[in-house]
Structure 1
Amino acid sequence: MSEDNELCVDRHLAHFDRYDEEVDVTRSWDAYLTNVYSDQCSSFYFDRYPEFSLKYDSSPLRPAFTASFEDEYGIVGYLVSRRKPEHKDANKLLRKLEVYDSISQIPNSPTSTTSPDKIDLMLLVNSSVATSLGKQIADLTGPTGPYSLQHNIVLIRYQFETGGDVPLYQFNRELALDQEFRDSALPDHDSLSVNIGAEGGYQRIDVSPEKFIGNKKQFPVTNSKPPRPYLATYLWDKVFPDDLADDQFRAWKDGKMNTVVDLVYSDLDQLTNTLTQQHIPQSNIQTEWVEDTLDFLCDARQADHANGSYTIKFTGVIRSPDEDSENRSYEDEISERGTRFIKRYCKHEEEADTDGQSTLDNYADD
């Protein structure tokens, strides 16, 4: 593997892994808030895929989640992505949060909204950058700073800890920013101010993957665009097999599919609707995301694009280009499937580069 190929693989794997971490963090709060407040609050509602008509940079606001408590208090969850410059640039982040500050209504059911007395913006930030970002936000929103928001910005740092008996996502208030939850409407003993905030002495919230793995399987994407290899793994494992003939499906299910089956998709809107209605209900997956993902599969030589249609070269196992096919084992975990796609993509992109047709720089945000 050449140096350029290694860089390509490493860069794409980093984006893939960080997005997977974002899914875990979002599903952690899904599990935690639902477990604690669905019984405590008669009208608690957690929205995994909220979308607001307010726009930033011409796109509608899509926070990581919203949570409504008793119609008196609400949280807008915002995940600060390490895949984007905002995790190091508080100015850029706050320009976006100024638009979020205009949110006055949040969902309290799949079909209705409420106007809570108080809404807090909960920022979820990886511990590696949380303190630095918190200090920047504190300076920029302080008495002499250029930003003044009506909603509190509550900064929550997270890390994945594997040193104990069970792996845990750990969440703490980041004290570099001193804004707190305004959740007096919640039961005293179960308020966020007690469980993770000042009133409880800044305790830690721990969530083990076993608590959210079911949700993650059902809702495997966040409310932001996944890297193309990430969505490709889901399409390959969950969507494309539905279009196999019965005998082909049985062979695929049994791990005995030894042929390549051409699956043709010409209506990408229909394919996207299949994703959002049958597989990941209420998600905001966009047709352009699906198209980008199919283009990625073309670059990885797992699909062709001609005359407005995509032909998926579907097989039971995706082989890494440097893998010994005689000794390979069937891998069905998302990370391993994604790695195989990425290695194929980078190998063929390097070959295209040799021919003077490199497109590597076009996908810096994957």
Structure 2
Amino acid sequence: MSGQNQYERCVEQAFAEFRAYDEVVDIVAAWEQFLSDISVASAFDFQWFPDPITTDTGAERAPTFISSLTSEYAIVADVIQEIDSDAQDFRERLVPLTAVDTGDVAYDGISPETVDVCLLIASEQAQAARVHLDSFDDGFLQAPNVIPLEFSLIDQDTTPKYKFERMSLVGENFRDKSLPTHARMSPRVSTDGELASIQISISDFDRHKATGVLCNKQPPSLYLACHMWDRVFYDQLNDSQQIEWRREDPDQTLTFEIEAGSLADKLNDSYIPNGSVNSAWVNDTLDYLCVVETAEKLTDSRYRIQFRNLSEKRREYKDVVVRGGEFSDLAMLFAGWHCENEVELERGDLDKLTEPTESVGATDSEDYTQPTIGEF
């Protein structure tokens, strides 16, 4: 395979992972918006980062989200983008979810009487999922009640929205009778409701996505790198550096040092409410930026960030990237730089980019007078 083909495949794979993760974040934010509108306000709770559910045999899986809609009713949801080809493997994935106990979803000390497990399955995988689910004929999906919904992104050129619809004509419906009659989902998606879909516009959940940021699994390093670059690093600059950054000079480099554990704490405390980012994720992400050559690894946990205003360079991708979140243009830029080094550098040279330099040189974050100029 030629170097150009390797590069293109590398970028394509990196951006596909970025978009897949962003899609899950979209769906969680969408359902937070939708469920908050139909729930009983005094009992509503929505968990972006629920703890794993563990069976008596030790099988474990963390739901994508959990929501309490009333004091009597809760939903445990799992977003499924890929289906195992083997039915047994798919069944094992579902085992912890079907073993959920009302105590696993207690809110404010109160356990609901009814818990439904909602499987949100990408439309491309719906047929395979349906075949597997139909093969489970031993009551496996009955307690608790499992509701498979397929989802797709529609109206992308006008008012993009996610559509969720039932995958069967009988059974498999929400047991939401404790909700007010006008707010219940079950009549809407039943045959009496002509199997109407649930549609949620992207513009409706922007606020929830901005505060949620991540979903309940480790993000690709590219995804977290874009978030930190766009939302966190600017705040680490001193006043004079921020003035220089706003000049939008893409070749001007503003440096500061940061420690991975401290950055993880900042993310969880200030940028991602109730987040579960750990220092290992941050280390992986900062190592990614080292390969992008926008960071330098000083020690195993300390890095020097080489921050730049990339607004001008990102404009080149505004018309190329149709969908993939607000950082998609930055993701394409970083993926390109990362893959260029992945493909062109010898393994030894590539490894050196993520090896500690053991240099503890001074940072200019205390006082900024003359910017360091750097170019790729």
Per the shorter chain, which TM-score range?
A: 0.7 to 0.9
Task: Tell me what 2:30 maps to.
Answer: 28
Match status 1:347 vs 2:345: no
Aligned residue in 1 for 2:216: 223
Q: Does the 8 Å contact 2:45/2:68 carry over to 1?
A: yes
- In structure 1, the partner of 2:265 is 273
Q: Does 1:252 align with 2:245?
A: yes
Change (3 A) 1:357 1:340: closer
Preserved contact between residue 229 and residue 341 of structure 1 (Cα < 8 Å): yes
Q: What TM-score do you get using the length of structure 2 for normalisation?
A: 0.81
Deviation at 1:108, TM superposition (A): 5.6
Secondary structure at the counterpart of residue 116 of structure 2: strand
Partner residue in 2 for 1:142? 137
**Tell me, which stretches of 5 or more residues in structure 1 are unaligned?**
325-331, 360-366
Q: TM-score, normalised by structure 1?
A: 0.83
- 1:11 lines up with 2:4 in the alignment: no
Answering whether residue 261 of structure 2 is matched by residue 298 of structure 1, we say: no
Counterpart in 1 of 2:365?
Answer: none
Contact 1:88 1:129 in 2 (8 A): no
- Unpaired runs of 5+ in structure 2? 318-324, 353-376
Distance 1:289 1:113, change over 3 A: farther
1:310 aligns to 2:303 (yes or no): yes
Give 1 or 2 for the bigger CA radius of gyration. 2
Contact residue 117 and residue 146 of structure 2 kept, 8 A: yes
Deviates more, 1:170-179 or 1:49-58: 49-58
Distance 1:193 1:131, change over 3 A: same
SS of the residue 2:187 aligns to: helix
* CA positional deviation for 1:179: 2.2
Asked if 1:284 is matched to 2:286, the reply is: no
Q: Deviations over 1:153-203 (max 9, x none)?
A: 211111111267422211111128952222222223321211224552321
Letter of the 2:137 counterpart: G
Change in Cα spacing, 1:4 to 1:258, as seen in structure 2 (3 Å) is: closer
Alignment of 1:1-366 (within 5 A): 2-39=4-41, 42-52=42-52, 54=54, 61-82=61-82, 86=83, 88-104=85-101, 105-107=103-105, 109=107, 112-139=108-135, 141-143=136-138, 147=140, 150-162=143-155, 165-175=158-168, 178-256=171-249, 258-266=251-259, 268-308=260-300, 309-317=302-310, 333-353=326-346
Alpha-carbon separation, structure 1, partners of 2:114 and 2:333:
47
Q: How far 1:107 sits from its partner (Å)?
A: 4.7
- Give the superposed CA RMSD: 3.1
| Aligned-partner residue type, residue 74 of structure 1 | A
For residues 70 and 231 of structure 1, what CA distance do their matches in structure 2 show?
A: 34
Which deviations, in whole Å up to 9, do the C-alpha atoms of 1:289-314 show, x marking residues without a partner? 11111111112222121332222211
Shift of the 92–54 alpha-carbon distance from structure 1 to 2, 3 Å rule, reads same
How far apart are 1:148 and its partner, in Å? 5.7
Structure 2 vs 1, CA of residues 69 and 215 (structure 1 numbering), >3 Å: closer, same or farther?
A: closer
Aligned to 2:370: none
